[in-house]
Amino acid sequence: MEKKWWHDKVAYQIYPKSFLDTNGDGIGDLKGVTEKLDYLKELGIDIIWLSPIYKSPFVDQGYDIADYYSIGEEFGTMEDFDHLLEEAKKRGMYILMDLVVNHCSDQHVWFQKAMEDPEGRYGGYFYIRKGKDGKEPANYRSYFGGNAWEPVPGTKDLYYLHLFAKEQPDLNWENPEVRREIYKMINWWMDKGLGGFRIDAIINIKKNIDFPSYEPDGPDGLASAARMIEDAHGVGDFLEEMKRETFQKYDAFTVGEVFNMKEEELKEFIGEDGHFSTMFDFSAHTLMQGSDGWHNSRKFSFREWRDALFDAQEKAQEVGGFEANIIENHDEPRGASRFLPEWAQKEAGKKMLATTSMLLRGIPFLYQGQEIGMTNCRRNSIDEYDDISTKDQYRQALADGCSLEEALACCYENSRDNARTPMQWSGDANGGFTSGTPWLAMNPNFREINVKEQESRPDSVLNYYRKLVALRKAPEYKDIFTYGRFVPLYEDLDDIFAYSRVLEETEEGRSGEIRILANYGKQPCALTLEKPVKQVLLSNMETGAKAGQTEVTLDSCQVLVLLTQ
C-alpha cells in the first residue's frame, strides 16, 4: 500500500460558532480558534476541520453559503483566516474547510439572478422545473421536512429543487459551468495552503433528473428525497472529475460526508485511488434512525452497535481504504450520552469509549468537547432550540400524535443542538466561552465539566485523551495503529468490545500486535488471552494485569490496551 501523509494523523472538528468568542458578541470566531491552537497541539491534533465560516444568513448554521469567497463577518475577516493558517502551519497543523456544494444559500448571487430570470443563464445553475397538474414536479420530502420543490416567485408553474431547507437551493451539477465555478473556488482556497476539505452531503449532487414521483412513505403523501438519490447513478463521474481538477493537484486530504452510498461502491470511494482520502463511518449513527423521524428512533443494543462498527472496519479493510472514525459531530447527539449504557455514563466510561473508538483502523476525528466528555443538554421548551432540523422533527412528532413532553424528550435524545452548545472552557461565567451572551445557551453542566478543571486533575478525561492520542502516535506503535490489520476478538461475548491490531513484518522490519479489551458490562469479566501479556500500554483504571499473564479480569467500564508477546 502506498503511504500517504495523512494516514497516521489525528483530526479534530471545530464548530467555530461555539468554540471560543474573543470579542464578546456571543459568537465563536477565528481569533478564538487561533488562540486555542496550542491547546489542540498539546492534545496531539494534526488536522483541524472547521465547520463553515463563509458568509451566510445562517438558516442552517452556515451550511447555506451566500459567498464562497468571503468569511462571515461573525467569524472575523480574511486576514484572521490567513493568520490562523499561518499559525497552524507554524505548529505543523493542517486546516480543512467545509465544502458545501450540493447547494448554496438563496442569498447567493447565482440564485438571486436565477430568480430574476429562471430561463436565463443562472436559471441553469439550479434545478428549475415545471409543475405537474398544478402541483410540484414530484413528491419529495426534503431532509428538513416539507416538499423539496418550492415555487419560483412571480412565475405561474415553475419550481426549484431544495433537498434541505428552501433557503438551500440545490446546485445543478449537470451544468459544466457550475462544476467549473466550483472547481475554481476549491483551487482558490487550496492555493491559500489548506490541507484539504471535509465534503458536505456530497452523495446528493447526483440526481435522477427524470425526477419521478415515488410511492409515498408518510401520511404527508411524500417520499424521502433520499429515495430519488438512491435511484441516481454516476455520482462517481462527478467526484472523479472534481478530484482530478482540484484535490489531486495539491495532494489534498479529503473526507467525504456520505450517506446512502451504494454498498458495492466503497472501493471507488475510499480504495487506494478513491474519490476521497477517507469518509466518515456513520454505521453506528444510522442504527438509531427510525422510519418516521426522531420520535420513533430505534433503541439499539450494545451488540448491534459493536457489530456495526466491526462490520464497517472489515469492509474498509477489505477494499484497502481507511474510514474516519467518530463518536459524534455537529449533527449528532453527544457520544457519551448515546453509546454508553447508563452505568458507564461517568469518566471511566468516557475513557473506555474514547479508547475503543480511537484505536480502530482509520483516521480518528474528535469533535470539540468530546475530549472533556461533554454530554447532551436538556431544554425546557422547543423555543430553547435553534436547529432547523430539531424544529422540524418536533413538529413532526406532535403531528404524529406525541405529547409535548414526548416530543421534547425526542429532541433531548436526538437534537443536533446537543453538540452545538458552546465549548466548556472553565467553570466561570458562560464557561469561559464568551464575556457576552452565548448565541446558544450553555449546557448548565459546564460548572462540573470543563477544560480548566480537567487540566488540573491528572486522572481527568482530558488528560486521558492526551495520553491516548500520544500512544496512538508513539513512534514504537504508530505503524501498528496506522497500518495494523483489524481483528475482532471475543465476538460471542455480549458486553465485551475487543479487537487487536496486527502488523505483520513490514519492509522496515516492524511487526507487532496490540489488543484493545473493554468491558461495557455491569459485572467484571475474565478473559483468557491467546498470548501472554508483554506490557500494559494504557488503562483507564488501576490494573492487576502483569507481563506473562494469560488471563486478565476487566472491571465494569475498564479498558486495557495490551502489547502481547
By a kind-dependent CB cut-off of 5 to 8 A, residue 344 interacts, out of ligand TEU, Ca ion, none, with: none
By a kind-dependent CB cut-off of 5 to 8 A, residue 60 interacts, out of ligand TEU, Ca ion, none, with: ligand TEU
Smallest separation, CB 105 to Ca ion (Å): 21
Annotated catalytic, 200? yes
The DSSP element (H or E) to which 485 belongs, if any, is strand 485-489
Smallest separation, CB 163 to ligand TEU (Å): 8
Smallest separation, CB 22 to Ca ion (Å): 6
3-state secondary structure of 152: coil
In sequence order, what are the residues at sequence separation of 6 or more whose Cβ sits closer than 8 angstroms to the Cβ of residue 179?
Answer: 173, 238, 241, 242
Smallest separation, CB 57 to ligand TEU (Å): 13
Taking the mean position of all CA atoms in its chain, how far away is CA 363?
12
Active-site entry in 257, 323, 328, 371: 257
C-beta closer to ligand TEU: residue 100 or 514: 100
Alpha-carbon Rg for the chain in angstroms: 24
C-beta closer to ligand TEU: residue 183 or 259: 259
Q: Would you tell me which residues interact with Ca ion (CB under 5 A)?
A: 21, 23, 25, 27, 29
C-beta closer to Ca ion: residue 27 or 203: 27
Rounded-to-integer distance, Cα 211 and Cα 373, Å: 44
By a kind-dependent CB cut-off of 5 to 8 A, residue 63 interacts, out of Ca ion, ligand TEU, none, with: ligand TEU
By a kind-dependent CB cut-off of 5 to 8 A, residue 25 interacts, out of ligand TEU, Ca ion, none, with: Ca ion
By a kind-dependent CB cut-off of 5 to 8 A, residue 371 interacts, out of ligand TEU, Ca ion, none, with: none
CA count, 13 A, side-chain hemisphere, 332: 25
Contact call for residues 277 and 253 (beta carbons, < 8 A)? yes
Smallest separation, CB 93 to Ca ion (Å): 22
3-state secondary structure of 353: helix
Contact call for residues 325 and 365 (beta carbons, < 8 A)? yes
Query: Which single residue brings its beta carbon nearest to ligand TEU?
Result: 63
Rounded-to-integer distance, Cα 289 and Cα 119, Å: 39
Q: What angle do CA 393, 395, 396 make, to 5 degrees?
A: 60
C-beta closer to Ca ion: residue 27 or 163: 27
Write b or e for each residue in 391-411: b if 16 or more Cβ atoms lie within 10 A of its Cβ, otherwise e: bbbbebbebeebeeeebbbbb
Annotated catalytic, 117? no
Q: Would you tell me which residues interact with ligand TEU (CB under 6 A)?
A: 60, 63, 100, 143, 164, 200-201, 226, 257, 259, 330-331
By a kind-dependent CB cut-off of 5 to 8 A, residue 143 interacts, out of Ca ion, ligand TEU, none, with: ligand TEU
Long-range contacts from 241-248, C-beta under 8 angstroms, 24+ separation: 241/179, 242/179, 242/182, 242/183, 242/186, 243/275, 243/276, 245/183, 245/187, 246/183, 246/186, 246/187, 246/190, 247/186, 247/190, 247/196, 247/197
C-beta closer to Ca ion: residue 82 or 245: 82
C-beta closer to ligand TEU: residue 258 or 554: 258
Active-site entry in 80, 167, 170, 200: 200
Smallest separation, CB 25 to Ca ion (Å): 4
What is the set of active-site residues?
200, 257
